[in-house]
Amino acid sequence: MDLILRKGRVLDRDADALFDIGVEKGRIVAIEPDLAAEGEEIDLGGRMVTPGFVETHIHLDKSCIIERCGSEQGGQAMAVKRVAAAKPDFTVEDVRERARRTLEKCILNGATHMRTHVEVDPGVGSRGMEGVFSLVEDYKWAIDIEICVFPQEGLACNPGTEALMTAALKSGAATVVGAAPGYEEGDHNIQIDRVFELAREFDVDIDMHLDFGNTPDDMDIMHVCDLTEKYGYGGRVAVGHMTKLSVAPPEQLSPIVKRLADVGVTVTVLPATDLFLMGRHQDHSVLRGVAASWRRMNWCMRASIAHCPRTTS
Ligand SMILES: [Zn+2]
């Protein structure tokens, strides 16, 4: 065999047993105790072996810039404003270097697949895209990187952004299209509709920053679900943050959860960001603002169905 990993604990197998893992041509071909095989060996000394981790939502292009962005007030609107002010100074080399540092940390912590959002707009041009894209090939030995291009500072309200998004999709650098309708000045649906059009035009998946807020008002998720159903995009749409779900009462949450499941829209819960940004308006009893786990959503949905006259009659 090309490689034999000796004496590891394997996830989902007997925790008290040690296994050997045989690898040939880059693939695992055997997992068993005391594997009878020869080849290069690494002694794992009882360490745990798991599948590679999947980083589903990160922003490599604007990582490692805390020293350039004051965060005296906190909150997501201020965070975006501070980054927007820093973006004109981004260069391709600067983005690549910062992104590389974060990427290497992810790899060292076990990530083997990653979807990174990358923003384009007249302020940063395509420099963020170029800097991050330059890493895809260089690190493909360790990790598969997927780039989602999106308009962090608005699409309809920020002329020039759409052309940059289209260019990124046309070149193939971006293979997913994203959105941030909460930052659109005016009707959020204009951005959501246009992003669905772009996704269909380039036949790419969708990953939106959606429904970030401290109250469950004016949610965009049902419109996203309607378009997902209309265009047969089930299984190809993810929505990140969704902090408004965390503050929605069960009677409001249940139909949303059922609709998400029915049309095939995935929620990406982002505790690292949301625990930091949410509840900044409170000085006590600060809300967590993290969308409910699937277990709670599932409970909520079942509770809703149990109380639905159609299913109980
Ligand atoms: Zn994000």
One-letter amino acid of 105: K
Q: How far is the CA of 152 from the centre of ligand 1 (A)?
A: 9
Residue 152: both structure tokens together: 């962090």
User: How large is the average pLDDT for residues 16-32?
Assistant: 95
What is the per-residue pLDDT for 280?
A: 83
Contact criterion met (CB below 8 Å) for 260 and 300: no
pLDDT at 311 over 60: no
Q: How far is the CA of 208 from the centre of ligand 1 (A)?
A: 8
pLDDT tens-digit series, residues 154-209: 999 999 999 999 999 999 999 999 999 999 998 999 999 999 999 999 999 999 99
User: How large is the average pLDDT for residues 232-241?
Assistant: 97
What is the per-residue pLDDT for 71?
A: 65
Residue 67: both structure tokens together: 């020293």
Q: How far is the CA of 178 from the centre of ligand 1 (A)?
A: 10
DSSP string, 252-308: HHHHHHHHHHHHTEEEE--HHHHHHHTTTT-SSS-----PPPHHHHHHHHHHHHHT-
- Domain spans, the chain: 3-49, 53-312
What value does the mean pLDDT of the chain take? 91
CATH topology of domain 53-312: TIM Barrel (3.20.20)
Region of 118 (left: φ > 0; alpha: ψ -120 to 50; beta: rest) is beta
The residue with greater pLDDT, 292 or 250, is 250
Q: How far is the CA of 54 from the centre of ligand 1 (A)?
A: 15
In whole angstroms, what is the distance from residue 175 CA to residue 160 CA?
A: 20
Q: How far is the CA of 306 from the centre of ligand 1 (A)?
A: 35
What is the per-residue pLDDT for 307?
A: 47
In whole angstroms, what is the distance from residue 23 CA to residue 19 CA?
A: 13
Q: How far is the CA of 107 from the centre of ligand 1 (A)?
A: 19
Q: How far is the CA of 57 from the centre of ligand 1 (A)?
A: 6
Q: How far is the CA of 207 from the centre of ligand 1 (A)?
A: 10
| 3-49 homologous superfamily | Urease, subunit C, domain 1 (2.30.40.10)
